Chain A
Amino acid sequence: MSAEEMVQIRLEDRCYPVSKRKLIEQSDYFRALYRSGMREALGQEAGGPEVQQLRGLSAPGLRLVLDFINAGGAREGWLLGPRAEKGGGAAEEEEMDEVSLLSELVEAASFLQVTSLLQLLLSQVRLTNCLELYRLAQVYGLPDLQEACLRFMAVHFHEVLCKPQFHLLVSPAPAPGDVSLKQRLREARMTGTPVLVALGDFLGGPLAPHPYQGEPPSMLRYEEMTERWFPLANNLPPDLVNVRGYGSAILDNYLFIVGGYRITSQEISAAHSYNPSTNEWLQVASMNQKRSNFKLVAVNSKLYAIGGQAVSNVECYNPEQDAWNFVAPLPNPLAEFSACECKGRIYVIGGYTTRDRNMNILQYCPSSDIWTLFETCDVHIRKQQMVSVEETIYIVGGCLHELGPNRRSSQSEDMLTVQSYNTVTRQWLYLKENTSKSGLNLTCALHNDGIYIMSRDVTLSTSLEHRVFLKYNIFSDSWEAFRRFPAFGHNLLVSSLYLPNKTES
């Protein structure tokens, strides 16, 4: 008897020698086999088999698993498949090979129940293999791996979503009541801590509220407990710096910044998305139309880029295809208008047409791809911001101009107002005003229980800069002012994103 008793494993017509000790150590299959007292458990002298016959597995998969077992389990820096190190390369074909090798490996490891190898797979989930691993985890009943894949796919949701294989994975209609994979991933993205994030060309300097080192950051997050702003570990991509008049929207907890114009040159069509789960910016497909001062609205898991400077067309971005397509255009080009989603429809309110004030509320239905005149109102509004809660649209700021006999004083231009419009009852409510603040140049976001508003304005007469950071609480209909404005800066955008919980990251 040698120190290391070897077992021959035969698959088809080839034999693979493996240390019996390691085999029993690593493979639950062999451990159970030798414990079962069945035919194969007996020693050769007791009439047991010369070799351990395996059937149905693939040779490359088995070889990988046996290599793993012979090596005594996990090694430092173990990587999936021989090709994993290369990276890049002639992607398509290699990916195909890697995927097939992967399935063979997982099958052999599952069959032989090499738990440590299966465990190791959890750390090997990549963009190239997550879908395949997810499928394999389903097939072989590996809940841990399935969870790991789901986590990974939720973190890289849009990148995974636009892979063609994704749709093959989810296409069989799930049973009623069963949550589809896409839905599960969407829900998984909406976890973490909702945090107010501010983007802008912030200026450093002694007056900055926070002593930043080096370059002033372009992305800040607000910590509500301490009422302080902290830089996010990431900044705007260089080609987004100094872009004005862009459209922004949040889709699946990605912050999209699309289009706009550069001060130095003309309009752009590029689109970027910020993924808070990875703290990374991704460039996605550009729009077909260069546009600025337009509205970007997220509806039904798609983005709609509406109008723009002298532009009436509308484009729809589907993250599943990573592509923009034109849909039904606005009846007219609009300027200084606003739009938001409400109950699965888009509402466009205010601004100017090429000829006149726009007094119409337009409604767009994504499923029928039709713009309809929803209502005509007798108050003109422009440059407002809009958010919605259930069937109520909140109209924040902007410049009001009442037509008709019982018009209010024209002070409204210098005030920050909040109004609501109920899309069901079609009722307007003048909710709140905040004097001495202009509502013309603000950014706002629905966050927690209110609308967080940030505005920076210069009063022409005094050349004084007003900086406002306040919240309109939609439940108590009251203002709440905050002391800390993020920083001196231009081109502010405030939005609410789910940031990963610290324990998770």
Chain B
Amino acid sequence: MEESMEEEEGGSYEAMMDDQNHNNWEAAVDGFRQPPPPPSSIPVPSREPPGGQLLAVPAVSVDRKGPKEGLQLGPPPPPEANGVIMMLKSCDAAAAVAKAVPAPTPSSTININTSTSKFLMNVITIEDYKSTYWPKLDGAIDQLLTQSPGDYIPISYEQIYSCVYKCVCQQHSEQMYSDLIKKITNHLERVSKELQASPPDLYIERFNIALGQYMGALQSIVPLFIYMNKFYIETKLNRDLKDDLIKLFTEHVAEKHIYSLMPLLLEAQSTPFQVTPSTMANIVKGLYTLRPEWVQMAPTLFSKFIPNILPPAVESELSEYAAQDQKLQRELIQNGFMRLCSTYMMYEVLNRHYTALMWMAQKVTSPGRELGMSWLITAHQHVRVPEGTDSDCVECTFLPATRTHWSCRDCIQSTVGPALRRSVTKLFSEEDVGLLSLICNLKKQKTNKQKKQPVSCC
């Protein structure tokens, strides 16, 4: 079989596919369909159709195939289902022979054969897979990965899909999946290195191109592998190919570049025309697809391109928001770290109680807004009730550069005891109390206890 496959390699795609599906397999049938014991039990030549016009492959190759398939019937190196297929085929053949007693004419055997799958007639050994099928896929993937989005794709969907399909049906999914992941990982590592080498002025544009090219390639690669996705990745691994491939880009490219990319993006954003808006839009949207949490690194930037990142702002209040923000930021900087932490903690608690109350009152809204804390609003988009809030990065709204590890959610949850909750609830029930006075009150009450908490959490 290797021989015939190599022949195909030389030819055009069309020729290859035709040959494989219409000619070789029929020849292979004869070698294949012999009953399990010795392949010699039915003389191979006698079972060839006399006309032979269907057989493009010379008898020599048939001979070669016979023993080869026969080998697989023994303790089989290619595992499980191959064996199953083999046995059933041979049983079909046995039945077919029995049916055509006393002397099965070759042509009648062939006719019965047409009832069985042409695709699966060719047993694809792991060697066949490595020497013929994967290289074909490898070439197509290369082409898809390196061409620009929108380019004409000369690859035939049907041919590549068939190739994937055959490999899956012949139990090569696992190998194929790992080859695919390996291949794309290698590609992405190369992409990442190239990016690293780019000068800063081209960096954003190059990142954009890499991202666009990869996402474009996925548009084609994923559909090509849907058979593997459905029958292997989804069912055996409980994953999804597209997610896996997107994750590869996140891990091997985006994560490695995000911290150099973000400052550049923020800088570019403040400098008109340094980067075209479309590039900016692509990157921001792309990053959001890769990892929605990255929004929190620059919510304002993301909110420009992605709807519903921020709550709808009321235009008339814009200046007021800004003034509030500035005042708060000033205060916070003055009061330093402790203050920030306790504010954050207060907010956590407040937010939970307030949101719960609001939900009960069927009046869902942003708690921060009601309290005049617009700076917090931006950070608390995903208020979830009743689990609490998802707010790792309050500070990044005003201190983007210093944000590194400031994730105090865990320690807040662990340190905010019932007593504190109660006191906050009590305070909170006095609706009009402003945030800062709340904090001050709380600090008075809890000075001793609170001293340690920010330290432990930061």
Contacts and interface: CB of A to CB of B under 8 A. Distances in A.
B87 A37 contact: no
Contacts of A40: 156-158
B115 A139 contact: no
B169 A173 contact: no
Interface in B214-237: 219-220, 222-224, 226-227, 230-232, 235
Interface in B387-415: none
B117 interface: yes
A107 B168 CA distance: 13
B18 interface: yes
B326 interface: no
Contacts of B91: 165, 168
Contacts of B22: 55
Nearest to A115: B230
B28 to A, nearest CB: 13
A425 interface: no
Query: Max chain B CB contacts within 10 Å: which of A52, A107, A135, A139?
Result: A139
A103 B117 contact: yes
A30 to B, nearest CB: 10
Interface in A159-186: 165, 168-169, 171-175, 178
Contacts of B116: 100, 103
A116 to B, nearest CB: 14
Interface string B287-298: 000000000000
Contacts of A29: 161, 226
Contact of B157 (A33, A47, A165): A33
B334 to A, nearest CB: 56
A52 B116 CA distance: 23
Interface in B66-120: 75-76, 79-81, 83-88, 91, 95, 99, 114-120
A37 B155 CA distance: 10
A45 to B, nearest CB: 14
A58 B84 contact: no
B154 interface: yes
A52 B84 contact: no
Interface in B139-165: 152-158, 161-162, 165
Query: Max chain A CB contacts within 10 Å: which of B79, B165, B173?
Result: B165
A486 B227 CA distance: 57
A148 to B, nearest CB: 14
What's the interface size class on A, roughly? 35 or more
A143 interface: yes
A100 B88 CA distance: 12
Given A135-B84, A173-B75, A56 B118 contact: yes
Nearest to B122: A56
Interface string A99-140: 011011001000101000000000000000000000100111
Nearest to A52: B158
Given A100-B115, A135-B88, A38 B157 contact: yes
Query: Max chain A CB contacts within 10 Å: which of B99, B116, B157, B169?
Result: B157
Contacts of A172: 76, 80, 83-84, 86-87
Contact of A141 (B86, B152, B231): B231
Interface in A10-38: 28-29, 32-33, 35-38
Given A28-B226, A39-B155, A96-B99, A140 B161 contact: no
Contacts of A141: 168-169, 173, 230-232, 235
A54 B22 CA distance: 12
B447 interface: no
A171 B83 CA distance: 9
Contacts of A139: 81, 84-85, 120, 169
B220 A37 contact: yes
A47 B153 CA distance: 11
Contacts of A32: 157, 161, 222-224, 226
A316 to B, nearest CB: 26
Given A28-B230, A58-B115, A33 B223 contact: yes
Interface residues of B, number: 49
Given A36-B223, A139-B169, A55 B158 contact: yes
Interface in A35-84: 35-41, 47, 52-58
Query: Max chain A CB contacts within 10 Å: which of B79, B87, B154?
Result: B87
A56 B21 contact: yes
Interface in B158-190: 158, 161-162, 165, 168-169, 173
A58 B231 contact: no
Query: Max chain A CB contacts within 10 Å: which of B80, B84, B235?
Result: B84
B83 A58 contact: no
Nearest to B228: A141
Given A113-B226, A141-B168, A103 B158 contact: no
B55 interface: no
B277 to A, nearest CB: 26
B21 A171 contact: no
Contacts of A251: none
A170 to B, nearest CB: 9
A107 B165 CA distance: 11
Interface string A283-318: 000000000000000000000000000000000000
Contact of B156 (A38, A103, A169, A173): A38
B17 interface: yes
Contacts of A190: none
A39 B157 contact: yes
A55 B21 CA distance: 7
Nearest to A55: B21
Contact of B87 (A33, A39, A52, A168): A168
A142 B81 CA distance: 13
Nearest to A59: B114
B21 A175 contact: no
Interface string A430-468: 000000000000000000000000000000000000000
A35 B219 contact: yes
B224 A36 contact: yes
A138 B75 CA distance: 20
A113 B153 contact: no
Contacts of A178: 80
Nearest to A111: B165
A19 B224 CA distance: 22
A113 B164 CA distance: 13
A58 B86 contact: no
Contact of B154 (A39, A138, A174): A39
Contacts of A47: 152
A55 B117 contact: no
B80 A38 contact: no
Contact of B115 (A104, A138, A142, A173): A104
Contact of A107 (B114, B117, B220): B117
Contacts of A38: 153, 155-157, 220
A56 B19 CA distance: 11
Nearest to B226: A32
Contacts of B99: 96
A72 B169 CA distance: 27
A208 B219 CA distance: 73
Contacts of A53: 158
A49 B40 CA distance: 46
B156 A168 contact: no
Complex A-B, nearest 6 residue pairs according to Cβ-Cβ distance, in ascending order:
A141-B231, A32-B223, A100-B115, A172-B83, A168-B91, A36-B223
Given A47-B152, A113-B227, A173-B75, 11 more contacts: A33-B157, A39-B157, A56-B21, A100-B115, A138-B81, A138-B84, A140-B169, A142-B231, A165-B91, A168-B91, A172-B84
21 contacts: A28-B230, A29-B161, A29-B226, A32-B223, A35-B223, A38-B153, A39-B153, A40-B156, A40-B157, A41-B157, A53-B158, A58-B114, A58-B118, A96-B95, A107-B117, A111-B162, A140-B231, A143-B235, A171-B87, A172-B86, A173-B75
Interface of A: 28-29, 32-33, 35-41, 47, 52-58, 96, 100-101, 103-104, 107, 111, 113, 135, 138-143, 165, 168-169, 171-175, 178
